Chains A and B, each alone.
Chain A
Amino acid sequence: MINSSLKTLSQMLAKKEISSVEMTQTFLNRIHQFNPTINAYIALDEAKTLAQAKAADARIAAGNAEPLTGIPFAQKDIFCAKGWRTTCGSKMLENFIAPYDAHVISQFDNAGAVNLGKTNMDEFAMGSSNETSYFGGVKNPWNFDRVPGGSSGGSAAAVAARLCAAATGTDTGGSIRQPASLCGFTGLKPTYGLVSRYGMIAFASSLDQAGPMAKSAEDCAMMLNVMAGFDERDSTSLNHPKEDYTRGLAGMSGDKPLKGLKIGLPKEYFADGLDAGVAKVVQDAIVEYRKLGAETVEISLPNTKLSIPVYYVLAPAEASSNLSRYDGVRYGHRAAEYTDLTDMYCKSRAEGFGAEVKRRILIGTYVLSAGYYDAYYLKAQQIRHLIADDFKQAFKECDIIMGPTAPSTAFRAGEKADDPVAMYLQDVYTIATNLAGLPGMSIPAGFDKGLPVGLQLMGNYFDEARMLDVAHAYQQVTDWHLQMPDLKAPEGLK
């Protein structure tokens, strides 16, 4: 059951082969067994979880079930969930009990889904390895010496280790897709504005976007049906008509389902810096796509390399402003001893934030400070325009863009922890879509030396349905997405 698709789980519940309480308990048992080692969840509340499962069973019995009713999901700890401890991976919010629900949480609640718990993450979503979490690192279920990626590292490990049916994540520069690549599952970052940011703790507001992290494209489509939609409480929520993201999936089997599809391969994504083993897996996946009837064409995204410097101006600038709310006055950490108000702010913030968060606040403060605004912030916004234009040009020549998600497979814990610049380069292939606001996806495409490799799909604005179809077509003829780590093998597990 743990490796079943959401559709199968939904059917099992509908046919009363299993109750939601039983299904939820199965995942809770796995969490008890493996979470002490993996550290994917940082908040569990079984009473709440099982109450939701019971309510779901009643709803199913009453005949009011929706596709996700009764299915247990993990929620990234960036989403406020009423009555749940919501920390965003930070000491600053260690004792913060959210007084309201994020839009994403309400959407899952309304659909009758069960919340298994809150997952570990890099502090305030700033990181690519989950090592900046105040609550400790997360182990990659494929190899416990390796990181799961980040910032949605807890959700990633929970999906990969089958400690949930699926999970939510957020992606500001690659935080859904890079962990999806490193842990071997399917993750989608939607078009900016498609999923409401209400109640999602802000990092860089013009880039943050929530999305599904699941076993397959089909699972992601079912989750996006629930997550997407206009919300007036988010000023950047887009009033885009409701879509059924599963509508095209059935047409993706049979001979050459992708005939007529033009796949763009950006030459900059296959240049220096890409690990040879990863390149091989990605090339093989592209060969598979040609067999499915797709055509490939070389394209160019000339400003790819600049996306990292641009991001490390814009994201910290927005973060320094967003995180100014943590002042120790109304909620969050307040220093135990202080002399005056300024001292209270300075001490509370110095104690509540970890090293990476402080670094980004400092960079953001610097690039926004008097005299430097034009040279850094404005310049970065101008290059952001060039990066978005690169994609506009590219989509004149192709329907979808493919390449690697991350330059390497999962690296060792500690390997890059002390070198922020090396860590930042992890996101070289994912950041540009955030800057342009485009949807991006990572799907499992194989393994290199026993570690998963992701293939990235990038689509045009609001082209999620097509991306999911294209991913689904590949998952009909391959089984990389069904592979899961053998968690009994490593020593040290109960």
Chain B
Amino acid sequence: MALNITDIKRIAHLARLEINEQEAAATLTKLSGILGLIEQMQAIDTTGITPMSHSQDVVQRLREDVVTETNQREAFQKIAPVLGNGSAKQAVDGGLYLVPQVIE
């Protein structure tokens, strides 16, 4: 299926990637080339073939339902990004992460 600019913008939005007109046009050319390569798959009849998601046929391991992780909140929050929008402070407060308000 041939892609167009609207498709590129829609996919970019699904992927949460901001894209401008110029980038979208350049991306369209490159992605069309790659999808052309991918289209080679359609020549193969795969009726009845089991999809392979992993190379080893193993089942997910189970373990006892016990706490194994230690609390490292401080260490992990030390690497939080800068808040932005004019503030140079880290995007954390009282052990929580700060993001723009999502509920009015």
Contacts and interface: CB of A to CB of B under 8 A. Distances in A.
Contact of A346 (B17, B27, B33): B17
B100 A341 contact: yes
B50 A385 contact: yes
A342 B84 contact: no
B46 A379 contact: yes
A365 B84 contact: no
A376 B3 CA distance: 15
Interface string B1-43: 0010001100111111111000000010011011111111110
B11 A366 contact: yes
Given A359-B27, A380-B41, A235 B61 contact: yes
Most chain B CB within a 10 A radius of its CB, from A339, A362, A438: A362
A359 B50 contact: no
A349 B100 contact: no
A320 B51 contact: no
Interface string A363-404: 111110100000110111111111010000000000000000
A344 B16 CA distance: 9
Contacts of B80: 330-331
A421 B100 CA distance: 39
Interface in A48-70: none
B52 interface: yes
Contacts of B35: 363, 366
A370 to B, nearest CB: 10
Most chain A CB within a 10 A radius of its CB, from B3, B7, B37, B78: B37
Given A313-B41, A346-B16, A192 B55 contact: yes
A424 B37 contact: yes
Given A305-B40, A340-B100, A437 B55 contact: yes
B78 to A, nearest CB: 7
Interface string B35-75: 11111111010100111111110101101000000001001
A353 B13 CA distance: 15
Interface size class of A (residues with CB under 8 A): 35 or more
A216 B6 CA distance: 52
Contacts of B51: 378, 381-382, 384-385
B52 A385 contact: yes
A329 B37 contact: no
Interface of A is mostly: helix
A137 to B, nearest CB: 20
A298 interface: no
Contacts, number: 182
Interface size class of B (residues with CB under 8 A): 35 or more
A376 B46 CA distance: 12
Interface string A423-439: 01000000000011110
A258 interface: no
Given A359-B27, A420-B34, A350 B14 contact: no
A238 interface: yes
A335 interface: yes
A419 B99 CA distance: 38
Nearest to A368: B14
B76 to A, nearest CB: 6
Interface in A170-199: 192-193
Most chain A CB within a 10 A radius of its CB, from B7, B15, B49: B15
A361 interface: yes
A99 B79 contact: yes
A180 B78 CA distance: 37
Nearest to B13: A346
Contact of A313 (B38, B49, B53): B38
Nearest to A93: B79
B97 A436 contact: no
A242 B97 CA distance: 42
A372 to B, nearest CB: 8
A347 B12 CA distance: 12
Interface of B: 3, 7-8, 11-19, 27, 30-31, 33-42, 44, 46, 49-56, 58, 60-61, 63, 72, 75-76, 78-85, 91, 97, 99-100, 102
15 contacts: A97-B78, A206-B55, A238-B58, A310-B41, A324-B16, A327-B16, A334-B84, A358-B17, A359-B30, A362-B27, A363-B34, A364-B15, A366-B31, A420-B33, A421-B33
Q: Which 4 pairs show the lowest CB-CB distances between chains A and B?
A: A437-B55, A381-B51, A334-B81, A382-B46
